Structure formats: C-alpha cells, structure tokens
Amino acid sequence: MWQAQVRIDLDAIRHNVATLRGLLRPGTALMSVVKADAYGHGLLPVATAAVQAGATWLGAATLDEALTLREHGITVRILSWLHSPGRPLHEAITAGVDLSASSSDALDEIAAAARQAHRPAAVHLKIDTGMSRNGATRADWPALLTAAAKAEADGDIEIAAVWSHFACADEPGHPSILRQQLAFDDALDVAAGLGVEPPLRHLANSAATLTLPESHFDLVRVGLSTYGLEPIPGAAPDLRPAMSVHARVALVKAVPAGEGVSYGHTYKILRDTNLALVPLGYADGVPRSASSRGLVEIGGKVRRVVGRVCMDQIMVDCGDDDVRPGDEAVLFGRGGPTADDWAAAADTINYEIVARMGSNRTPRVYVGEQA
Ligand SMILES: *Cc1c(COP(=O)(O)O)cnc(C)c1O
C-alpha cells in the first residue's frame, strides 16, 4: 500500500504535444523541453511520450540531461544550452547533441571539443534580444558570427541555428515582446550581412507558441505546455495537466477550539474540528510558503492546509467531516486543486510547483504507459 505518490499521465503528455503541434504551420518543428527532469515529470518517460506524439526535438539545459537521453536510445535531435567552461563537450558532440554558443569563447571551446571528437559540432548561435540572460549582446554578435563562420569553414562546426528567448512572453502586450522580436530580426539581418544563413531560427517558448504565431519561425521550444500547464491563465484550455500528487491520510483526530497547530502556532483552531495528517511536506516539494493557504482534496471536498508546512507532513482542516486514515488526499490534479492553486498559495509559478514536487523522495508512478 503506497503512502504518497506523484502520478504522471503519459497520455496527457502525448495529447498536449499533439495539440501544440496542431497550432504550428506545417514547416515548423516542435521541441519538447525536458530540462530539470522534465519539469519534475521524469526525463525518459516524458521524452519517450513526447517523441511518440511527434516532437522531433528535445530541449535540455545541461549536458548530463542530453547525454542521458542519448544513452537511453532517444534519437531525435537534442539541444543542450547551458554549460560552464571545462565541461566534456566532446562527449555531447560524439553523441550528436546540438550545443548553444553565446560567446566567442564558448564557440572556441566547442570547436576544440569537435576536433577532439573528430566530428563537427552542430551549434545554435544565441543572441540576447533583451532578457540579459544567455546570448551574445548586440555589440558582441558580429564577432560571434564571424568566429562561427570561420569555425564552419574550418570544418569544426556546422551552424545549425540562430536563436533567442523571450523574457515576458507570458504577459501579452508587454512592450519588451515586440522589442525582442525586432532585435531578433535585426540579429538575423546582421547574420545575413556576414554571410550566415542559419538553417533554423527559433525564439518561441510556450507562451509565445500559444499567443504569437509570428514568433514560431522554424521551431518552437515548449516546456510548460507539454506538461499541460498554462503560462497564461486561459491561454490553452485544451491542454491536460500530466502531474497529480496523492497521499494517504496518516492520522485523523479531533482538536478543540483554541489549540495551536504546527510549528510556531501560526494557526489557531477557531472551533472544534477534525485535522487530517497528510504525509507530504517541504522535503517532498510542498512549498512552506503555502502554510495555512495550500488546498487539498479529501473525500471529494477541497480543504485547507492549517499551520506551517513541516518537512514531512501537513495538517488539513476537515471540519466535522468523516475523514479516515487511509483516505486519499489529492494535493493537485485529477479534479482536485490545481498546480496553479498551489502556485497562488505559495506566491510562485506553476513551473516551480511541479518541478519541486517531482524532484524528491515521493515515488513517481506512470499511467497511460504504452506497452
Ligand atoms: C525553459 C526554457 C524553455 C521552455 O519554456 P516554457 O515557458 O516552459 O515553455 C524554452 N527555451 C529556453 C531557453 C528555456 O530555458
């Protein structure tokens, strides 16, 4: 008998990838972003399901994520975009993983690794169009292009793409969106002026994929929406959340009015009630900042967490209801509260809720797995 589990519906992943593909023009490919253990959903099962549903690219932040995909026989194109100096890039090149370069130094390191691997590296040149995170600045862009063109002529790399990332695509109408689109067009013009015509251009994350068709270019990089969550409330009603979080009530007891609940007694019982002890806490990814605010469904009713979230457990106010030990509690998913409810309760975003819930000691169970 299980105590707590994170359930991942792979049919939902497949449904979401197919739904997202339906938004794209025929020539535009879809990359499912599976960084951070597939946003807490599990790297390999999600990657497999996404590919089954037609994702022809997978996006990984780290080399390790990308190499794990290859080691398990995933053959679609993979882009890995975040490496500190000194990482074993030649392993990625040997494994046929595309790499991103944001600076001439990074490009030099990729070229050296390619010579070591005896195989050209497929490189995506990243321009910073206004997020100030990765990517070359406008000032450094021509030098990066020149270095890339030379490395390509030397046979060390193949320029696979020019790409960038939005800062505020989840706020439709935000003035930075148009500025970034114009900066991307400008970066492509500068590239063309230097003789660089990348086979692929990509810019859109989930929010842009859902709201800005003109940003789709040749490839979209969808993370959150692959998992059935919306970057903008109401933007994608056809998606199905893939993760649900379940636990079995460990203890129920009557607690009289006036008692304090959990550490610090930040919550006081106002009238006699039954408290259910649910065996999931912040070590499992339940945000402590949702103390006395998170919602949990037990016995078909949505109830509130009372008192501080502990490391391993939370207390849920069940009033006069007949809740029993062993009853199933649903933190989110499957008709209970949503990851968005927990994000609101914890003052964060749905991304963080699922990424944390899925990266801990709670066993993950897959449903909808194809034989
Ligand atoms: C995480 C990430 C994405 C996916 O973003 P979503 O909002 O989850 O769709 C795309 N591109 C880059 C560079 C990222 O880091």
3-state secondary structure 156-170: CEEEEEEECCCCCCC
At 180 the pLDDT is 98
Binding-site residues for substrate sit at 133, 311
Which of residues 191, 226, 261 is at a domain's end? 226
Q: Give the model confidence (pLDDT) of 303-356 as tens digits.
A: 999 999 999 999 999 999 999 999 999 999 988 999 999 999 999 999 999 999
Residues 176 and 264 in one domain: no
| Alpha-carbon distances, residue 170 vs 88, 181, 338 (angstroms) | 34, 14, 19
Nearest residue to 166 via CA among 119, 232, 98? 232
Please report the pLDDT score of residue 370 as a whole number. 64
Angle formed by the axes of helices 175-193 and 141-153, nearest 10°: 40
Q: Is 222 in the pocket of ligand 1 (CB under 6 A)?
A: yes
256 in the same domain as 220: no
Q: Determine, yes or no, domain membership for 266.
A: yes
Q: Are 170 and 215 found together in one domain?
A: yes
Tokens representing residue 325 in the block: 């030990």
Residue 317 lies in a domain: yes
Contact 126, 106 (CB under 8 A): no
33 Cβ inside 6 Å of ligand 1: yes
Whichever domain contains 352, its CATH number is 2.40.37.10
Q: How far apart (Å, rounded) are the C-alpha atoms in residues 200 and 74? A: 21
pLDDT score, position 334? 86
How far does the centroid of ligand 1 lie from the alpha carbon of residue 343, in Å?
A: 18
pLDDT for position 371: 42
Kindly state whether residue 190 falls inside one of the protein's structural domains.
Answer: yes
CA–centroid distance, 108 to ligand 1, in Å, is 25
Q: Is the CB of 221 under 6 A from ligand 1?
A: yes
Contacts of 166 (CB under 8 A, 6+ apart): 129, 131, 176, 177, 180, 203, 204, 205, 207, 208, 215
Of 134, 171, 211, 221, best ligand 1 pocket probe by most atoms within 8 Å of the beta carbon: 221
Q: Is 231 contained in some domain?
A: no
End-to-end CA distance of the chain: 24
161: domain CATH number is 3.20.20.10
Per the CB < 8 A criterion, the answer to whether 177 and 194 are in contact is no
Please tell me the distance between residue 311's alpha carbon and the centre of ligand 1 in angstroms. Answer: 30
Q: Which atom of ligand 1 is nearest to the CA of 163?
A: 13
Instruction: Indicate the DSSP class of residue 138.
Output: T
Query: What burial letters (b/e) apply to 75-85, b meaning 16+ CB within 10 Å?
Result: ebbbbbbebee
How many domains would you assign to the chain? Answer: 2
Residue 171 forms part of a structural domain:
yes
Which string of DSSP letters, residue by residue, matches 10-40?
HHHHHHHHHHHHTTS-TT-EEEEE-HHHHHT
**C-alpha 224 to ligand 1 mean position (Å):** 8
| Residue 136: domain span | 9-226
- The model carries a pTM of 0.97
> What is the predicted pLDDT for the residue at 213?
97
Residue 3 within any structural domain of the chain? no
* Tens digit of each residue's pLDDT, the chain (371 residues): 999 999 999 999 999 999 999 999 999 999 999 999 999 999 999 999 999 999 999 999 999 999 999 999 999 999 999 999 999 999 999 999 999 999 999 999 999 999 999 999 999 999 999 999 999 999 999 999 999 999 999 999 999 999 999 999 999 999 999 999 999 999 999 999 999 999 999 999 999 999 999 999 999 999 999 999 999 999 988 999 999 999 999 999 999 999 999 999 999 999 999 999 999 999 999 999 999 999 999 999 999 999 999 999 999 999 999 999 999 999 999 889 999 999 999 999 999 999 999 777 899 999 987 64
Q: Domain check: are 285 and 360 in the same one?
A: yes
**Which atom belonging to ligand 1 lies closest to the Cα atom of 221?**
10
Are 55 and 198 contained in the same domain?
A: yes
Counting atoms of ligand 1 from 1, which one is nearest the CA of 205? 9
What are the tens digits of pLDDT across the range 124-142?
Answer: 999 999 999 999 999 999 9
- Residues 99 and 203 both lie in one domain: yes
The reply to whether 263 belongs to the active site is: yes
Asked, for residue 1, whether it belongs to a domain, the answer is no
Angstrom CA distances, 14 to 50, 316, 367, stand at 6, 34, 12
Q: 48 lies in a domain?
A: yes
* Predicted pLDDT at 237: 85
